[in-house]
Structure 1
Amino acid sequence: MVNYMLMITGELENLTNLQPQGGCDDPDFTYYFKVKCGNCGEVSQKETCVTLNETVPLPKSKGTTHLVQKCKFCDREGTILMIPGRGRPLTQEMSESGKFTPLMLLDSRGFEPVEFYFGTGWKAESMEGTKFDGIDLSGGEFAEYDEKGECPVMISNLRATFDVTK
């Protein structure tokens, strides 16, 4: 069992509190990433998607998890369980310092998560308090104009990493 913390950062211009639409523990937010098999090292060709509100039974067990998947190369099975309560929004201060912010903790068995894809369903707020909902980051950036604050707002240079954690 290895826990991986999904860490994100990016450049926020006149914005703060970038996070999934319903907060860091949004049960409906879909996380997209590729996985690497812990047995043969093969990386999945397609993105895997998991959400907190969808669980599947663990094979040969009474428990549940958020993902059960077989490696297409060696047929070894792996699971990923999402552990809510450890994520925080990406703030303007963290963005300016270039530091990564924790988003979601994953208990991974048999797989290593790699290459997170930002996708849709994000929110942020301007430094003047204007809320921006339903942000689509699948193109890697977001640009808009804050009428209330009379300034441009932008999200760019998004990056994600998975850090091994306890």
Structure 2
Amino acid sequence: MVNYMLMITAELDNLTNLQPQGGCDDPNFTYYFKMKCNNCGELSKKETCVSLDETVPSPHGRGTLNLIQKCKLCGREGTVQMIPSRGLPLTFETSQSGKYTPLMVFDCRGLEPVGFVFGDGWKAESTNGTKFNEIDLSQGEYADYDEDGQCPVMVSNLQANFVVVK
């Protein structure tokens, strides 16, 4: 078993607290990434989607998992279980420092997550307090205007990686 923490960063202009719409532990938020088989190294052709509200019974009879996926090349089965309560919103300060912030932990057995894909369903707030909901990051950036604060807001230079954690 290996736990992978999804870490994100971006350039936030006049925005803070970038996170999934319902918070970092939003059960309805879907994570998209490719899976690499730990047995043969095969990389899935399409992105795999995983969310907290989608579970399947464990084949070993111990609870539930968020994903069971069979490798198309070697036939080995791998599993993913999401571990909530360790994610944080990406703040303006963290963005300015160029650091990454943790978003979600994935307990992976037989699989390794690679290449997170940003999609829709994000939220943030301006540094003046205006809330921006249903942000779509699938194009790699987001731009709008804060009428109350009278300033442009933007998310750009999105980056993500997976790091092994205990």
Q: Secondary structure at 1:4's aligned position in 2?
A: strand
Q: Which residue of 1 aligns with 2:112?
A: 112
**Is 1:134 the counterpart of 2:130 in the alignment?**
no
Distance, in Å, in 2 between the alignment partners of 1:81 and 1:56 is: 10
Query: Residue 60 of structure 1: CA displacement?
Result: 3.5
Amino acid at match of 1:46: K
Distance, in Å, in 1 between the alignment partners of 2:75 and 2:119 is: 28
Task: Give CA deviations for 1:95-137 in whole Å, capped at 9, x if unaligned.
Answer: 0010000000110000000000110100000000000000000
TM-score normalized by the length of structure 1: 0.99
Name stretches of at least 5 consecutive residues in structure 1 with no aligned partner: none
Aligned-residue Cα RMSD (Å) equals: 0.6
Amino acid at match of 2:100: F
Query: Residue 61 of structure 1: CA displacement?
Result: 2.0
Query: Residue 157 of structure 1: CA displacement?
Result: 0.4
**Is 1:48 the counterpart of 2:29 in the alignment?**
no
Distance, in Å, in 1 between the alignment partners of 2:151 and 2:70 is: 48
**Is 1:98 the counterpart of 2:95 in the alignment?**
no
Amino acid at match of 2:118: F
Distance, in Å, in 1 between the alignment partners of 2:159 and 2:62 is: 37
Distance, in Å, in 1 between the alignment partners of 2:163 and 2:35 is: 14
Which stretches of structure 1, 4 residues or longer, exceed 3 Å deviation after superposition?
Answer: none
Distance, in Å, in 1 between the alignment partners of 2:62 and 2:125 is: 42
Q: Which residue of 2 aligns with 1:146?
A: 146
Name stretches of at least 5 consecutive residues in structure 2 with no aligned partner: none
**Is 1:60 the counterpart of 2:60 in the alignment?**
yes
Q: Which of 97-106 and 51-60 deviates more?
A: 51-60
Query: Residue 18 of structure 1: CA displacement?
Result: 0.1
Q: Which residue of 2 aligns with 1:123?
A: 123
Q: Which residue of 1 aligns with 2:83?
A: 83
**Is 1:4 the counterpart of 2:4 in the alignment?**
yes
Query: Residue 62 of structure 1: CA displacement?
Result: 3.6
Distance, in Å, in 1 between the alignment partners of 2:137 and 2:92 is: 17
Amino acid at match of 1:139: Q
Distance, in Å, in 1 between the alignment partners of 2:126 and 2:62 is: 46
Query: Residue 141 of structure 1: CA displacement?
Result: 0.4
Q: Secondary structure at 1:95's aligned position in 2?
A: helix
Calculate percent identity across the aligned residue pairs: 72
TM-score normalized by the length of structure 2: 0.99
